[in-house]
Chain A
Amino acid sequence: MTATSLPAAEPVLEVDDLRVELRTPRGPAHVVNGLSYTVGPGETVAVVGESGSGKSVSVLALLGLLPARVATVTGRAVLQGEDLLTMSSDRLRQVRGPGAGMVFQDPMTSLNPVLSIGKQLIEGIRAHSDVSKEVARRRAADLLGEVGLPDPERALDRYPHELSGGMRQRVVIAIALSNSPALLIADEATTALDVTVQAQIIDLVERLQADHGTGVIWITHDLGVVAGIADRVLVMYGGRCVEDGTVDDVLEHPAHPYTRGLLGSLPDLAQPLVDGRVPDLTTVPGLPPPPTDLPAGCVFWPRCPVRSDPRCETEQPPLAVLSPGSGGLEHRAATWCESGADR
């Protein structure tokens, strides 16, 4: 990869050529194939793509949360000056929490059903700082208050099943933030929630981020969410970054046919009616390629509506800089298709 765009401050996380290969019964699956990006302090990077594009695996790999028996992770992922991928498992355990906290997709299953909320928060706090149970408990109650749980003191003694999905996700966020991490990874954190709750959770994360200067990786397939929260966007397809840049660049001037397909599949309420009806949404036909059998050329060409260049089928397009972008952040895309020419 060439020309990594660097924000002004020292980045919190710097990922370089991350590759993940999973052993499957159908042969090796190339789930992440050379991903590079940086996350600055207080910055939100959204990683978008449809199911199976390797988004979740790419972040689970960072924290060593993939089963070691089946996953091979290579590349570099430097968090606050230390490479996560080469550090000892003991050191990695210390980094999980204070270094990077993680919020998962489904709040209904990501908390232990038989332990109280308090226990689950306190054990995380005490794993990283040598404090008494009472101190940890007070800090846990403060955290619950901070994430907007009513009556935090009593909530500590409640069990996950007594809370709604949105409240549970707040608890998961409180757990992720309990050791003031430099980086927060939200893996489809609002996907399982209904829209109003989704908006509350997003507001919450933005507020906490502003207060603590946390860098955020926000994984989602919801471009509406991206527009609302992200500073930068990274579009993933077939385990590769096919386009990245500032939110404005990517959403306003998408260059990759896949990004355009994703944007075209969004409903637009401001759109004029056609024959008195809302015009049909466009879709990206077909399915993503199986990671065990990626196409030789551009990963997207089997589904690509453009396919203008003879190299599409045979040669992997590099991430090329399209414009210097705003605020020193380049807009890049990996496609042979002439940017903007056939929009």
Chain B
Amino acid sequence: MVLVGVSLIVFSLIHLVRGDPVRLALGTRYSQETYDALRHRNGLDLPLVQQYVTWVGRALTGDLGVSFRSGGTVTSLIGERLPATLTLAFAAVFLALLIAVPLGTVSALRPRSFIDRFATVISQIGISVPDFWLAIVLILVFAGTLGWLPTGGYVPLTEDPLGWLERLVLPAVATGVVSGSVLTRFVRSSVLEAMGSDHVRTAQAKGLPERQVFTWHVLRNALLPLVTVTGVQLAYLLSGVVVVEIVFSWPGLGQLALQAVRSRDYPVLQGAILLFALVFLVINLLVDLLYSRIDPRIRR
């Protein structure tokens, strides 16, 4: 249902935007015959409703069409970009959790302490600063001035593990810090809330050691809702952190989508956006499934 809605909206919006993909593809000199032939070949001369139905019909069989620009199939184009985006998204979420869980927990344990104030300021900055700006600063400092890391690009892990890691660090930090800031705030309030709950007092009244109260009755309960929020962050990152991908010339889906917009490459753009919607759905489904495993209240 959601996918049908998304596909309809995507389709209508794309065709509302001015610009003619055929004219863009042909350049400045072309004959009317070539133009018409090309339009016809790509089905652009058909009524929109018919175009939509054809597209959906094919999409259902896994055929997202052929790129106007490169002539390759959309599925293969997306398939090429997917590993890069997956790598970056998972690295960023991993980093974000690595920052957020300890920092948020410590802040909650010592509210209004130095570390809490420090974490608040840092995460406030992390939330406010645009990721592309952070990306540029990181490049200037670590690739430019210090020269420790390359400015961008991507090599698959299987070809060159070290080069893969070197190129991954900066974009992962740029995106992970933003997610990490959001998650830190979340972990802090979640832990604080859990600490104030009645069952924690029951646990203390039982005479459990502090550490046991904390792991089993505070942290365990506080981290349950983190699964949802992390899922949302992951979905957001997977659907392409467009600007960061551009800054680091990271060949991911965001970049692909942007190029498609520029060249009015309808099939690629439609395919990419449909995939983003699918990613959201799949991740939400996974989060729900995971929840039913870890939260007894949802188990049936």
Which A residues are closer than 8 A to B by beta carbons?
63, 65, 93-98, 101-102, 104, 106, 109-116, 120, 123-124, 127-128, 159, 161, 172, 175-176, 178-179
Contact = CB atoms under 8 A, between A and B. Distances in A.
B17 interface: no
Given A104-B201, A106-B198, A123-B212, A112 B206 contact: no
B27 to A, nearest CB: 63
A96 B213 CA distance: 13
Interface stretch (B68-76, B115-123, B215-223, B237-245): B215-223
A115 B194 CA distance: 14
A112 B212 contact: no
Interface string B285-300: 0000000001111000
A178 B202 CA distance: 13
B5 interface: no
A179 B220 CA distance: 25
Per DSSP, are chain B's interface residues mostly helix, strand or loop, or mixed? Answer: helix
B206 A123 contact: yes
Given A110-B201, A114-B297, A123 B216 contact: yes
Contacts of A65: 201, 204-205
Contact of B221 (A110, A112, A124): A112
A115 B199 CA distance: 11
Given A104-B205, A114-B294, 6 more contacts: A101-B205, A102-B202, A106-B198, A110-B199, A111-B199, A120-B203
A63 B208 CA distance: 13
A175 B207 contact: no
B206 A175 contact: yes
Contact of A179 (B207, B217, B221): B207
Contacts of B199: 109-113
Contacts of B205: 63, 65, 96-97, 101-102, 104, 176
A101 B205 CA distance: 7
Nearest to B205: A102
B296 A114 contact: yes
Nearest to B294: A114
Nearest to A93: B207
B224 to A, nearest CB: 7
B107 to A, nearest CB: 15
A52 to B, nearest CB: 19
Interface centre among B205, B212, B295 (most CB of A within 10 A): B205
A175 B202 contact: yes
B197 interface: yes
A109 B198 contact: yes
The 4 closest A-B pairs by CB, nearest first: A96-B207, A97-B207, A124-B206, A109-B198
Contact of A159 (B203, B217, B220, B296): B296
A114 B295 contact: yes
Nearest to A90: B209
